[in-house]
Amino acid sequence: MTDKHTDGTGGQVEVAGRDSQVGVASAQADPVPDPGLPPHDPRPTDIDEGLEKRAERQVAGMFGLATLLILLSCVAYLFVDIHGTFLNFNASNFAIGTTLGLGLLLIGMAAVQWAKKLMADHEIIEDRHPVASSPEDTATVLSAVKLGAQESGFGRRKMIRNSLFGALGALGLPAVLFLGDLGPLPGNLPSRTIWRRGMRVVNDVTGEPIRPADMSIGQLVNAEPDVLVENEEFDSPGEHNLEGTALLNAKAKAAVILVRMQPRDITAYPTRTNWGIDGILCYSKICTHVGCPISLWEQTTHHLLCPCHQSTFDLANNGEVVFGPAARSLPQLPLALDAEGFIIAMSDFHEPVGPSFWERGGEEDVSP
Amino acid sequence: MRFLSTRRRHPLAGLVVVLLGLLMAGGLYAVAAPKSPAQADTAQQDLIEEGRQLFLVGCASCHGKNAEGLKTKAGNILGPSLVGVGAAAVDFQVGTGRMPMVQTGAQAPRKDPVYTDAQIEALSAYVAALSPGPAVPSEEDYNAEGIEGEELVRGGELWRTNCTACHNFNASGGALPHGKYAPSLEGVSDKHMYEAMLTGPQAMPVFSDETLSPEDKKQIIAYVDSLHETPDYGGLSLGYLGPVSEGLFVWLVGMGVLVGFAVWIGTSGVRSKK
């Protein structure tokens, strides 16, 4: 209930000081005269006893209803089936949420109504206080600091002062040494995946190896190296030696997509003409922008889209970026066939997969 | 015999002998050769012919009179070639009402089918007769009834690996560039889901039976069906469209209600006579 028109005293002091500095007459009248406070206008509930009683009943009614609803929420908690549904919601959640939420809302609304209609209606003015300390406080602190410097002899005993600086400076050394030893550097780990020459490219989840004849034009297969996906029929003993976090990390980096398109639609770099098999190409599934998994492939345009930030890669043109924030082409995995006719990798990726990192360096495998 | 022997050097004798030989050979072949399936199955032949007639009326204006596909003057595809797409593709496109298209556009939307089931069967038979392609799956291939427990969980895993990039985690669909979109799968029949995976309609990739087996497909279908049957335990789903609809709701409804309360607290009531 304070009035906006009254300035704090601090503000007035400042205005007067500035005026005296630049020499403008401070006696000039305010161009917009201060209208002062409007006369106090009593609320209807202050003068009409009927309205006051009504407001009282409203507030008490809301508190009462809130009590009822809160009790109801306890009843709902105890007696509504937690597996039941209501309007396709969970019935228990719905009942508890509705009753408890409305109860809390009514408590708040009753409090507001109480304050607005019935609590005392004074209009008061609170002046702002200056933020700066008083001159006495400032002087006391400064004299204490000076006395301390004088009595300790900080300026006089130079040997002690310099040795103190030396000790404090030495403290920096363990910080640098210890923090520098927080862990081994990742080395070339981010640059390599588990893909090696001869590893079969198999279906993710099912682990089925793939023959070129299994894929028709426009086909998409979400794939992984065979050492990471279990398949009873094709597993060789001792093949799956990764588990837990290491397995998930390896899968996350090695995830690929296998797509097949008309061979005449593909324009491969001269260095990559033998990387595909009759229109079957293999690319990393990890976006080169910030590493979202991408398998949003439009077979009609041969474009692969990242759902996170709409980076778009042209898989018919070596995975080059055609749109979006990604700065690097999608890494391609060179393919071959093994003796049984299944698709295998010829090597690891020729460049690091996923988003850029500090040690990644420039493009290793670029267009001519 | 005298009649024949006196005329054996006649200029036309050789021709007559050749004709007789051809007639005998042809006749013998007709008696001895196995009957071709097309000749044996006149009902199938009639079905294909009925499909061809329907095709010429309803489809040929875009796909060409022999389903060879047509291009516009600018070189864009008006209607793609249907040679080799198979019966499953026709059953999906016509059965979900996507074909015939009402107008050209970025994508054919799902709508009520124009043709009856019998007509769709005839159209499928005609297109399938052009060149081999995926056949319409049988009911035991796609019927996902009774799949639960571990198989359902595996279906979910396959779904999240292969499908969610476009169709959204809850099969609500999503946007693609240039006005295209991955449609919501709510209300799509098991058969049509199977056919879509099998044939890769429009921009969707193909998931052939060789890489995603019929069993895998059935588990995926069961999982999608279960998504639409599961209650919304988390409350208002807002279409399961993620931050777009949720953000809109919070900004308009949530903040709108807060502003309304602020207005009520600040103005109305204190000095009003009512």
pLDDT digits (tens, 9 = 90+) for B157-196: 999 999 998 998 899 988 888 889 999 998 899 999 999 9
B157 CB within 8 Å of a chain A CB: yes
- Of residues B203, B216, B273, nearest to A206 (C-beta): B216
Helix, strand, coil percentages in chain A from 3-state DSSP, rounded to 5: 40, 15, 45
Average pLDDT over residues A51-56: 92
Separation CA B103–CA B124 (nearest Å): 22
B216 CB within 8 Å of a chain A CB: yes
**Is the pLDDT reported for residue A105 higher than 70?**
yes
Q: Which two tokens stand for residue A84?
A: 């039941």
Q: Residue A332: its pLDDT value, please? A: 94
How far away is chain B from the Cα of A360, in angstroms, using its nearest Cα? 28
B162 CB within 8 Å of a chain A CB: yes
Interchain CB distance below 8 Å, B205 and A297: yes
B131 CB within 8 Å of a chain A CB: no
pLDDT band (50, 70, 90) for residue A159: very high
Q: Residue B69 half-sphere exposure, CB side, CA atoms within 13 Å?
A: 10
* pLDDT tens digits, one per residue of A262-288: 999 999 999 999 999 999 999 999 999
Interchain CB distance below 8 Å, B232 and A112: no
Largest CA distance in chain B: 138
**What ipTM does the predicted assembly reach?**
0.74
Report chain B residues whose CB lies below 8 A from the CB of A307.
Answer: 165, 174
What is A209-227 written as a DSSP string?
B--GGG--TTBEEEEEEGG
Q: What is the CA radius of gyration of chain B?
A: 31
pLDDT band (50, 70, 90) for residue A44: confident
Q: Residue B40: its pLDDT value, please? A: 55
Task: List the single residue in A with minimal CA-CA distance to B267.
Answer: A116
Report chain B residues whose CB lies below 8 A from the CB of A90.
Answer: 231-233
Percent of chain B with pLDDT over 90: 44
Q: Residue A62: its pLDDT value, please? A: 97
pLDDT band (50, 70, 90) for residue B103: confident
**Is the pLDDT reported for residue A35 higher than 80?**
yes
* Residue carrying the six token digits 């927080």: A182
Q: Residue B42: its pLDDT value, please? A: 85
- Rounded-to-10 torsion of CA B180, B182, B185, B191: 90
Interchain CB distance below 8 Å, A220 and B207: yes
Q: Residue A76: its pLDDT value, please? A: 95
* pLDDT tens digits, one per residue of B53-75: 999 998 999 999 988 999 888 88
Interface residue of B152, B199, B202, B211 to substitute, partner A, most A CBs within 10 Å: B211
**Is the pLDDT reported for residue B128 higher than 70?**
yes
Task: List the single residue in B with minimal CA-CA distance to A118.
Answer: B270
Name the average pLDDT for chain B: 87
Interchain CB distance below 8 Å, B176 and A298: yes
Q: Residue A2: its pLDDT value, please? A: 39
**Is the pLDDT reported for residue A14 higher than 60?**
no
- Of residues A44, A216, A296, nearest to B206 (C-beta): A216
How far away is chain A from the Cα of B152, in angstroms, using its nearest Cα? 13
Report chain B residues whose CB lies below 8 A from the CB of A294.
Answer: 165
The listed range with the strongest mean pLDDT (A80-84, B15-19, B120-124) is B120-124
Interchain CB distance below 8 Å, B273 and A44: yes
Report chain B residues whose CB lies below 8 A from the CB of A295.
Answer: 162, 165
Report chain B residues whose CB lies below 8 A from the CB of A217.
Answer: 206
Q: Which two tokens stand for residue B56?
A: 């010429």
Query: In terms of pLDDT, which residue wins out, B105 or A352?
Result: A352
Q: Residue A11: its pLDDT value, please? A: 38
Average pLDDT over residues A62-78: 96
Task: List the single residue in B with minimal CA-CA distance to A312.
Answer: B177
Q: What is the CB neighbour count within 10 angstroms for residue B247?
A: 13
* pLDDT tens digits, one per residue of A296-310: 999 889 999 998 899
Task: List the single residue in A with minimal CA-CA distance to B217.
Answer: A206
Helices A172-180 & A158-170, crossing angle to 10 degrees?
Answer: 10
Report chain A residues whose CB lies below 8 A from the CB of B203.
Answer: 298-301
**Is the pLDDT reported for residue A7 higher than 60?**
no
Q: Residue A329: its pLDDT value, please? A: 92
Task: List the single residue in A with minimal CA-CA distance to B154.
Answer: A205
pLDDT band (50, 70, 90) for residue A9: very low
Task: List the single residue in A with minimal CA-CA distance to B107.
Answer: A300
Q: Which two tokens stand for residue B24?
A: 């005998």
Separation CA A199–CA A197 (nearest Å): 6
Separation CA B67–CA B81 (nearest Å): 6
How far away is chain B from the Cα of A294, in angstroms, using its nearest Cα? 7
Task: List the single residue in B with minimal CA-CA distance to A41.
Answer: B271
How far away is chain B from the Cα of A299, in angstroms, using its nearest Cα? 5
